[in-house]
Every structure is written in C-alpha cells, then in structure tokens.
Amino acid sequence: MRPLVARSSAPLQGSARVPGDKSISHRALMFGALAVGESRVRGLLEGEDVLRTAAAMRQLGAAVDRREDGSWHVHGVGIGGLCEPADVIDMGNAGTGARLLMGLVASHPITCFVTGDASLRRRPMARVTLPLTEMGARFVAREGGRLPLAVIGATEPLPISYTLPVASAQVKSAVLLAGLNTPGETTVIEPEATRDHTELMLRHFGAELRIEPHGARGRTITLIGEPELTGRDVDVPADPSSAAFPAVAALIVPGSTIRLTNVGVNPLRTGLYETLREMGTDIKFESQRVQAGEPVADLVITAGRLRGIEVPAERAPRMIDEYPILAVCAAFAAGRTLMRGLAELRVKESDRLGAMARGLTAAGIKVEAGEDWLAVEGMNGKAPKGGATVVTNLDHRIAMAFMVLGGATAEPITIDDAEPIDTSFPGFAELMNGLGARLGV
C-alpha cells in the first residue's frame, strides 16, 4: 500500500506528454507476435498492464525485447504459429490484455491457463468466452466465467457472424483476433460503434477487412481469415484517456493553461473532449496529423467557467473510461451534470460508479447515483471541502481522479494506495507535479 495525498495547487502551466495509448500498445505487441518478420514499436506504454502482455507474447513463442533507445522490437511467429505456454499466464490487472489474449489463443490448437490479480479475477469474462465458444474453443472457468480459466483452442476453428449484445471493443477485438487463424470470413456486428484500434492496426499489418454501416450508429466488420501479417513500425500516440487527468486538472484550477503533446484523437475515443466542450471549456486540437493510421494532435487546455449538462447514454462507448474524471470536472460546474448509460462502470477494475459516488460525497459534493446513471451537483467554481480519504480498490482511474480533485479542494484528499496507477500511467505524480500540482506522501 502506498498512500498519496493531493493538496490544492497554484495554476498549472507547461507542456507534457502523457504515456502511450494502452489500447494501442496491447494490440501492437499482439499483432507483432502474429506477424512474419520484425515489428518496431515506439512510444509503447511501459505500464504494468502492457508489460504483462509483452510477457504473455514471449510465453506464446514471440521474441519481444526493449532496446536502449526505448523502442520495442517484436519478432513474430506468423498466423497459426503460437506455441503452447509452459506455465500459467498471469495478466495482473490487465483486463484488455486478458480478453484479447483469449481471442488470440482461441483459434490455435493449444491449451493456455490464464489468471490475474484479485481485481481482474472478479471481472466477468463470459462476454468473451461465449462467442469464442461458438468458434470452437473451450473454456474451463470459475462461476460467471471468471479467472483463473483454461483456454482450450479449437483444432478446426469456425468463422462466425456475431452481434455484440453490449458495446465492447474488447469483445469485438477478441473475436477478430480469433478470426485471424480461422478460414473464411469472421463478422462482428456492433449496434453502437466502439473504438476501432483493432481494425486500423489489422489493416496496418496487412489484413483485409470490410467495414460497413449498420443501423444509425453501428458498423459491420468482416475479416478475411488466414492472412499473412507482415512486421510493421508502430508509433504509439499518447493515451487520450490518460491525458484526461491533467486536462481536467487544468480546467478546474483557475488560471491554468497546459499543452499535452501527441495525443491520440481517434473520433471513437474523444467523447470526453466533446462533452467538455459542451460544458463550455476551451480545449484546442493543434497540429493535427496521422500516425500509423491513428489521428493525433496537441491538446491545449485553458481553465474557464463550466456549466452542467446532460451527457447522452449513446456517447458512453466513446468515453467509458473517462466518466470518473468527468464526474470530478462536473463538481466545479454551474448546475447539475447527469451522466447516463454507465452500467459498464459497475464491472470495471472496481465498481467505478459506486466508488465515485462515495468519494465525491465524502469530499463534500452532492451526488445521486442509480444502477446506470450518476448526477453531480456542481459548485459553480467554488472549492469543495475535500478532506476525504478514498479507498481505490486497486483501480487506477479512481486513484487518479481523486488526486485531480484534491488539487482544487479546500482540504487535501488522500488515496489509500497509489500503486495501481502504475498499471496505466507510470510517472503520473511526477508529470502532474511538473505542471504545478502538489502530489506527495
């Protein structure tokens, strides 16, 4: 346990680059492992979650190493070339890594045992194992499909057409990964479009996909199985979900202006920034460009007056990880902010909806919560009381959200354990302090 305290700060100023995008980092290592030849990855997130994926790829037969210049090199085994691991694969707290790994292994004739830490072992995996079972894989798991579990890959995998019952980029990606070593066409239908990093990176490595509209907001993605992926260079942009924490910190501390460089601005990941603009914030995307198929930009954020709004439920797939920090931002707005469509937050690293409601209330902020909604009564720019100690339940986003809140409350806020932050944002406290925050023991 490593407690951390946030105290109110002077205006934040300066420029920083947050760590690489976690979603893209996981995928770069996995696609590199399935490619023929060498892939070079620059800007990889070197947090615990991604390092678990790197270790898993080594256990499955790929060569993965970090060079002195900070780049990562992956020598892949080709589609169908994964070998059976000699030991249990421990994914730590990496929910994305674990679910994608199951898809990766499901269409190979090998057996793989997967586990994780206490938080990951509580998270549901049945949403992934269900479609992969239709493709011929078998799973032996705890009640509710929870880890630890055994993946028994299909000897003759079958292509499927699968409609997502819940918007989930992880489930979609697991099915598409299984489809790589499956003959024929594997199709995923998503009624609500989710982040498309898998599709963009599949094309970057040489796979063939068809993507068509489905309904008002959905898509149909069809993958042609058994392609030959070729090693590629990947420049990982800064993670927009990680950038959200210093961005909101700058918005709620009066007089602040900061620049966050090289941030991924994929339209399916920018729901938070769209929401913040609706709240009246001044956020600019400068120097917009494309890297390895992914749009990036420099974000310039300036503090200003905020107003409460209603965030539509259909925006949730584009910002599901950002609701904890949005709730913090809402505490400083004029009026009430209502967030709907949050059921998925109940089954993240922790019950994030419940954790935010409890923590904000303890800090003197009026909150109402239901099964899938959260309402925050803003204090119109006034500093909340603070003075709370928040239990993070091994959840990095809860930990960082309350550290941001503590930078603008009258009394300090303490989190019980800052160690989980390293899973996605190594160097978080140092980066924030470099901009003028006051995080410390």
Tell me: the pLDDT tens digits for 327-368?
Answer: 999 999 999 999 999 998 887 878 999 999 999 999 999 999
* Element containing residue 201 per DSSP (H, E): helix 197-205
Q: Burial level of 162, CB count in 10 A (0-12/13-18/19+)?
A: buried
Residue 140's pLDDT is 97
Given 117, 321, 395, 422, the catalytic residue: 321
- Per-residue pLDDT averaged across 146-164, rounded? 98
* pLDDT for 375 beyond 80: yes
Looking at residue 44, its pLDDT comes to 97
Closest CA to 276 of 260, 292, 252: 252
Both structure tokens of 127: 């949403």
Q: What is the pLDDT of residue 411?
A: 98
Q: Is the pLDDT of residue 1 over 90?
A: no
CA–CA dist 22, 422 (Å, integer): 12
Structure letter (DSSP) for residue 299: E
* pLDDT on residue 347: 77
395/417 Cα distance (integer angstroms): 9
Tokens of 63: 């060569």
Mean pLDDT of 399-409: 98
Q: Is the dihedral of CA 369, 375, 377, 382 positive or negative?
A: positive
Q: Is residue 49 classed as helix, strand or coil in its secondary structure? A: helix
Lookup: tokens for 411: 């009394």
Q: Which residues contact 51 (CB under 8 A, 6 or more apart)?
A: none
Query: Per the omega criterion (within 30 degrees of 0), is the bond before 384 cis?
Result: no
Q: pLDDT at residue 441 above 90?
A: no
Is the separation of the CB atoms in 405 and 328 below 8 Å? yes
The whole-angstrom separation of Cα 201 and Cα 176 is: 12
For residue 35, pLDDT over 90 is answered with yes
Measured CA angle at 181 (ends 178, 184), to 5 deg:
95
pLDDT at 376 over 90: yes
Is pLDDT at 16 greater than 90 in this prediction?
A: yes
Catalogue all structural domains in the chain, each as residue range(s) with its CATH number.
4-19+237-440 (3.65.10.10), 22-235 (3.65.10.10)
φ/ψ of 24, rounded to 5, equals: -70, -35
Residue 249: strand, helix, or coil: helix
Which is it for strands 233-235 and 38-42: parallel, antiparallel or unpaired? Answer: parallel
- What pLDDT is attached to residue 201? 95
How confident is the model over 4-25, as a mean pLDDT? 97
pLDDT in tens, 55-114: 999 999 999 999 999 999 999 999 999 999 999 999 999 999 999 999 999 999 999 999
Residue 292 has pLDDT above 80, yes or no: no
Q: Which residue has the higher pLDDT, 292 or 138?
A: 138
> What span, in angstroms and rounded, lies between the C-alpha atoms of 423 and 81?
29
The DSSP result for 90-134, as a single string, is E-TT-HHHHHHHHHHHHTSS-EEEEE--HHHHTS--HHHHHHHHH
pLDDT of residue 147: 97
Give the angle subtended at the CA of 236 by the CAs of 235 and 242, to the nearest 5°: 160
Average pLDDT on 224-240 reads 97
Please give the average per-residue pLDDT across 147-161, as a whole number: 98
List residues bridging with 307 in a β-sheet: 334
Distance CA 432, CA 430 (A): 6
Angle between helices 323-330 and 271-278 (to 10 degrees): 10
Mean confidence (pLDDT) of the chain: 96
Distance, CA of 204 to chain centre: 21
pLDDT band, very low/low/confident/very high, at 291 (cuts 50, 70, 90)? confident
Give residue 155's pLDDT.
97
Residue 220: strand pairing partners? 189, 212
Please state the length of the chain.
Answer: 441
321 given a catalytic annotation: yes
Report the C-alpha gap between 377 and 373 in whole angstroms.
14
CA dist 329 and 317 (Å) reads: 19
Residues forming beta bridges with residue 318, ordered by sequence position: none
